């Protein structure tokens, strides 16, 4: 069974303190805690340095205990902060399936548009006689 933590509002110094209290209560006090820890960020509006620091400590603790930490449903603001802080690769982040599906469709559409543009602007191949003439000069 997973341990699910649901911080709300701002994950600033005060919010991080509340989340730390929950971590102490449900994870640190239980040596046989679940191997799956989920932090549901859907109700977090913003995150500060204190919140990022707590999440990185929690990630290290999960690794030490051979557990898995998943950050679920971060808001767009929180995702932007993760990207600006260059920590997106450090965490396992899961969003809404609908959001991921839209993102996948958007990426596919972008890839298709790029392929069409490349075909339109790619240089035309030289004929064999032009290639031979150019290479003999």
pLDDT, tens digit, 9 for 90 and up, residues 69-81: 999 999 999 999 9
Q: Is the pLDDT of residue 58 over 50?
A: yes
For the chain, which residues make up each domain, given as ranges?
3-96
Distance CA 83, CA 27 (A): 27
Whole-structure pTM value: 0.68
pLDDT, tens digit, 9 for 90 and up, residues 79-113: 999 999 988 889 999 985 445 545 555 566 666 66
Q: In what order do the strands lie in the sheet with 68-72?
A: 3-5, 36-40, 68-72, 92-94
Looking at CATH, the fold of the domain delimited by 3-96 is given as Transcription Regulator spoIIAA (3.30.750)
Q: What is the largest CA-CA distance in the chain?
A: 80
């Amino acid at each position: 069974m997973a341990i699910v933590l649901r911080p709300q509002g701002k994950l600033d110094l005060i919010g991080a303190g509340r989340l730390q209290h929950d971590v102490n209560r449900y994870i640190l006090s239980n040596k046989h805690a679940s191997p799956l820890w989920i932090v549901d960020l859907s109700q977090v509006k913003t995150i500060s340095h204190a919140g990022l620091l707590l999440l990185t400590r929690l990630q290290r603790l999960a690794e030490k205990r051979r557990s898995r930490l998943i950050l679920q449903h971060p808001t767009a603001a929180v995702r932007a902060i993760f990207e600006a802080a260059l920590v997106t690769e450090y965490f396992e982040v899961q969003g809404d399936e609908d959001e991921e599906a839209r993102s996948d469709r958007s990426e596919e559409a972008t890839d298709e548009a790029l392929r069409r543009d490349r075909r339109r602007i790619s240089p035309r191949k030289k004929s064999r006689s032009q290639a031979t003439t150019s290479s003999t000069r």
